[in-house]
Structure 1
């Protein structure tokens, strides 16, 4: 079942048998009702007459998780100018276990003062290198700008924001990295080349004359321009963004997310790459592409498939895409740092499949990524693999009263393009084929 079918079929409700709360999902409308279909694109509505009601009413302040208050008080750092695409810079680097997209906030706890690697100045930039994800024998990473920091004895606590993609450039001796020893510790740095972000114009608009441009009607202009072009209009439409943005609008309405960088096509493509469930191969393809259009076309194809989240060790289905929701203003998939300095990319879901997970620790509020919630370690019932965490509200006024945070390192995305029967609301686990 594709996302389009999911958003536009009949309404349904789900009762979580083990929960003491009723979770209501989106009311869905017939495909042949174009007026109602357009309303879905606009996002969830509060008007009861249009038939669109929220999946679930959150009473929690989703601003809190994005502040990463569990890191303690940090010194604020001023913003820096973006680096010129194609330019080469020498910056301190640190290895990272997963791909990070520009626009994502990454908290870091490092064991040494990495920012002052040359002993002269602090650049307040750090490069996260993806050693585990090479591409055509090349190593890539992302430049992170420090927004907050605090030096504590032998560690440095950083709150960074990923800004630009880069590729490692070999130095004069052919090595990709060099080290500088200070205070009996090795600090690594590298030469990086900033990658461009190619934003292509609409090919049909290039055929528009000055008189046509004066007409403030894009659809009419494209139709007139197609008459003087080599290919018919439907060919150009396949590489346009209008239909893609309509499908993205459905996805955002489903997640009830409004604070999305839709005005910037580059940042929108990266935001979607972080918040749409992707296989490892798709994540790489989206990151390594310099073209915004290529990313959006791939995202367009991905939205035609349903997905489930399976244990990476035993492939047992743990959760469904239908239970994703945004517990943070930054989306459904956010990176958090534990007290040991390991960064977990965490996907929030209302629930897991019944009897697939269990908790192995007592509830704790210490270092909680979601203030006002206690956490417990959750593992897979089949193979005892660490899956993520169960969060339970410590205040009665908070909704949801409980939810799960799945660790991206412990799960894999499984996809299916099977068309379900009329009485099915989501794909069955046995029909899900795992994407390697």
Structure 2
């Protein structure tokens, strides 16, 4: 739909999609004598040899996982007395007016909305600060239906071609500056996909210059599958799920009533993955993480640090369960921040820590409107960078700290900033923020990335 013919259809539903596949859990028949087996299994030292073998294999797997988690928790500790709420407020953007409006759209339906282009990926649950020329906004965007627009990521096209992916953004604070710019803070809500199939103006979305353009977007679903063993509900015995000493024995019994061993079902058990992730991020000084499973899967992807291929894989996957399995695999990998141009190692990912309540990775906006996705680390490798310019507190993303530009020592491109406390009581005294524009996550050469999931 071109700009002249869109009329009042900016947020109208134009059609419904029925392409999304329903994901279901197979229910297996329970073998006879289940109750008798359960009471035998719940008595100490009453395992059959087959169940004991499975239990030992599971214990060995958990010990390996604990060993990996211990390596993460054993990272050096960094004391912090900085108020991590301050960076989330983006106070460097000035005083703004709060606004409200509709936030969520129906998954599986197509909407026509205003679209902006962003150079990197953002995930649902993030905050996105933006400075955009006022003329690019549609005045009707600030009506009763409110304040929703889309942001797309052409950088993903190399993998997702011909489809474009993006997210819906809801403005919650805004103001106008003296240069006729709209300064906004947005909450990122839902993923969507844009297809040539229902967009005649698809090519306009990829034009480099800022311009007002609308597109029809298909809102993607967020599918959460229950634990497969929950389908084998044993009635009143299900209360044993809440007793730590007995829950695993109950799972052993339930798995024994199927043709598959227990570890097959444990691969889809989200609680185990969540506990491993919680242990891993304790070294980051993060106080809490989201409880909603959908937002948690995206939040972990940002804070556990993936390379670009893995981030895309997580983003386009509709199943929360599959995302969490991708995340679990990353816990055993050592990673480095490297210069994107010359591959000079800048920092070890084990030096990450959170200077923002949102986590180790946050989006910040510079005075020109460029959005930097940054990762905060407490140390960088010796002789990896050098400083450029004088320290400044103007437009500082971390109140109470001055910033200096850091350049790669090998190829002289911008890789981030050093922040230094200007108040004597602030801790840490110094830390670094690496920009993902020119700093990438690198894996050891023998690491491989699984094939991209199909999105039929």
TM-score (norm 2): 0.77
Tell me which residue corresponds to 1:377. Answer: 405
Q: CA deviation at 1:290?
A: 0.3
Tell me which residue corresponds to 2:55. Answer: none
- 5 Å-filtered alignment, 1:349-368, equals 349-368=377-396
Is the 1:223–1:233 contact (alpha carbons within 8 Å) kept by the matching residues of 2? yes
How many residues are matched? Answer: 375
More displaced stretch, 151-160 vs 56-65: 151-160
Is the 1:207–1:229 contact (alpha carbons within 8 Å) kept by the matching residues of 2? no
Tell me which residue corresponds to 2:202. Answer: 176
Tell me which residue corresponds to 1:247. Answer: 276
Tell me which residue corresponds to 1:141. Answer: 166
SS in 2 for 1:249: helix
Q: CA deviation at 1:152?
A: 2.6
SS in 1 for 2:390: coil
Between the aligned partners of 2:142 and 2:257, the Cα distance in structure 1 is 61
Tell me which residue corresponds to 1:8. Answer: 70
- 5 Å-filtered alignment, 1:278-357, equals 278-357=306-385
Is the 1:115–1:125 contact (alpha carbons within 8 Å) kept by the matching residues of 2? no
TM-score (norm 1): 0.80
SS in 1 for 2:134: coil
Q: Does 1:166 align with 2:179?
A: no
- 5 Å-filtered alignment, 1:250-261, equals 250-261=279-290
Is the 2:151–2:166 contact (alpha carbons within 8 Å) kept by the matching residues of 1? yes
Q: CA deviation at 1:4?
A: 5.3
Tell me which residue corresponds to 1:411. Answer: 439
Q: Does 1:208 align with 2:233?
A: yes
Tell me which residue corresponds to 1:189. Answer: 214
1:87 to 94, 109, 123: 109
Q: 1:109 to 1:340 in 2, by over 3 A?
A: same
Q: CA deviation at 1:246?
A: 2.4
Structure 2, unaligned stretches of length 5 or more? 1-63, 450-456
Q: 1:240 to 1:107 in 2, by over 3 A?
A: same
SS in 2 for 1:363: strand
Structure 1, unaligned stretches of length 5 or more? 10-24, 29-53, 180-184, 417-430
Q: CA deviation at 1:409?
A: 1.2
Q: CA deviation at 1:371?
A: 0.6
Between the aligned partners of 2:441 and 2:282, the Cα distance in structure 1 is 22
Tell me which residue corresponds to 2:224. Answer: 199
Q: CA deviation at 1:212?
A: 2.9
Between the aligned partners of 1:380 and 1:172, the Cα distance in structure 2 is 44
Q: CA deviation at 1:309?
A: 0.7
- 5 Å-filtered alignment, 1:21-36, equals none
Tell me which residue corresponds to 2:127. Answer: 105
Q: CA deviation at 1:228?
A: 1.4
Q: CA deviation at 1:190?
A: 1.2
